[in-house]
Amino acid sequence: MAKEIGLGALLGTIIFLAFNQVDIWPLVLLLGIGVMLFSSGMMARLQTGMNRKVDATATPLVTFQDIGGQRAAKNELIEALDFVLRPRAIERLGIRPLKGILLTGPPGTGKTLLAKAAAQYTESVFLAASGSEFVEVYAGVGAQRVRQLFRDARSLAKREGRQSAIIFIDEIEVMAGRRGQHQSHLEYDQTLNQLLVEMDGMATHEDVRILVIAATNRADLLDPALMRPGRFDRLVRVDLPDREGREAILALHTQNKPMADDVDLAVLARETYGFSGAHLESVCNEAAILALREGNDRITMAHFKAAVDKVLLGEKLDRHLSREELRRVAVHEGGHAIIGELVNPGSVSSITISPRGMALGFVRQAPDDDRLLQTVSELQQDIKVLLAGSTAERILLGEQSTGAANDFEKAWEIARRMVLTGLSSLGVVHEEGLSPEVLYRAVQEIIDQAQADVTALVTAHQDAIWRLADELLEKETLPGEYVRQLVA
């Protein structure tokens, strides 16, 4: 920027002196030299950007056995990789080889690990890049990097004596979004066009077979041309693991850790509903850190449960609440826990009033089974549990507080989803055909009905909530078994 300002000032000075009939040729010569130096610097910067190398390694030491909880994704990926392993068979049968595989799913589910395991399975060289590496200010740099990436894949495979190479592009939506959305910058479109051309040019008769594996958690942003047959032929969904998958992942991450006899991975898998593989790895790591902090030689179940809370909510805070505030938090969380056990027995795993992250207290739920679908009654139960905290404050303490704001937001979203999925008194509806007033009244009707039921339940179980709150004030954290004893 300083060079541009200097050259502009020099040019302005020359024009001013020319109008005043001063000899400007020495300044013109100086300006020419400055332009040459500036241009050479720009070219050097541009050349440096084009020649930037992506990470290229030999076959990673990761196998499919090292990845737990993704049985369906692994099976589908292995089936696709067999086309790379048996080129003669697919030529004999006239099968068009797969050129690209798209891994899509939430963050932390193991998409990168699957790509590395694919390279190990096919004994291919492995090149990894991120979508952001192909987008630059200078026009043409991204397209040049795409060409260089495919050239590097072929040359590295030949140098390693391999017959195939796998190119892995993470966060591909950055470079392969829908064309035409960037009105002021065509660099994105040029980069995507070059990727499409490179994938079209791959054939079975090449000395090096190249397979492109990409990962994204926003497949809806990708350009349709990239998803047509002949480019990314397979879309492999890498979802959050189910209970069996979580147990398998926990077993993998605890292989090298000394565990106490009370550790039950099946129970731990049940209590980590909704965790990804990355979350579960963090749980095992945090449990080991807690054991080290306490000077224990083995990791106990208490360490694992504390690690789950830490990963879910964050570290304990040094926030000191007054006695009255702690009592209110205990009543609030007691309402959640008691009503949770009443409407869904066995669902409460633990309850605490120890501040973590943004939460002053927390009731951790552990459903019996992972739910892919929810019925009307199950959704209504979730709303009742969310409303129970503020209701307990109002009935037992005389007034509510601002601590239930997040509960209300979640309850409203569940009720809204019920309306839009045809589970309300309106029946089957379409969001675009609903006026805001009608949608509001339908959601409010669901909330009001749940609130009436929760008010009756809290009123009938005030003694249990008081006893639970008093015990929480003394012990701070309680297991779900204590809540179930109070309800029984």
pLDDT of residue 51: 47
Enumerate the domain spans of the chain. Answer: 2-50, 55-237, 243-313, 323-487
pLDDT of residue 44: 44
Mean pLDDT, range 364-368, rounded to an integer: 75
Fold (topology level) of 323-487: Methane Monooxygenase Hydroxylase; Chain G, domain 1 (1.20.58)
In this prediction, what percent of the chain has a pLDDT beyond 90? Answer: 31
Q: What architecture is domain 243-313? A: Orthogonal Bundle (1.10)
HEC string of the chain equals CHHHHHHHHHHHHHHHHHHCCCCCHHHHHHHHHHHHHHHHHHHHHHHHHHCCCCEEECCCCCCHHHCCCCHHHHHHHHHHHHHHHCHHHHHHCCCCCCCEEEEECCCCCCHHHHHHHHHHHHCCEEEEEEHHHHCCCCCCHHHHHHHHHHHHHHHHHHHHCCCEEEEEEECHHHCCECCCCCCCCCHHHHHHHHHHHHHHCCCCCCCCEEEEEEEECCHHHECHHHHCCCCEEEEEECCCCCHHHHHHHHHHHCCCCCECCCCCHHHHHHCCCCCCHHHHHHHHHHHHHHHHHHCCCCECHHHHHHHHHHHHHCCECCCCCCHHHHHHHHHHHHHHHHHHHHHCCCCEEEEECCCECCECCEEEECCCCCCCCCCHHHHHHHHHHHHHHHHHHHHHHCCCCHHHHHHHHHHHHHHHHHHHCCCCCCCCCCHHHCCHHHHHHHHHHHHHHHHHHHHHHHHHCHHHHHHHHHHHHHHCEEEHHHHHHHHC
Question: Is pLDDT larger for residue 412 or for residue 319?
Answer: 412
Give the chain's mean pLDDT.
83
pLDDT of residue 47: 46
Asked if 118 contacts 77 with a C-beta cutoff of 8 angstroms, the reply is: yes
Mean pLDDT, range 256-274, rounded to an integer: 89
In this chain, the answer to whether the domains covering 243-313 and 323-487 adopt an identical fold is: no
Check whether 58 has a pLDDT greater than 80.
no
pLDDT of residue 221: 85
Fold (topology level) of 55-237: Rossmann fold (3.40.50)
Question: Is pLDDT larger for residue 320 or for residue 224?
Answer: 224
pLDDT of residue 52: 45
Check whether 7 has a pLDDT greater than 60.
no
Among 333, 341, 393, 432, the one annotated catalytic: 333
| Annotated catalytic residue 171 | no
In this prediction, what percent of the chain has a pLDDT beyond 70? Answer: 82
465 Cβ partners below 8 Å, 6+ apart? 331, 334, 335, 338, 392, 396, 458
Check whether 407 has a pLDDT greater than 90.
yes
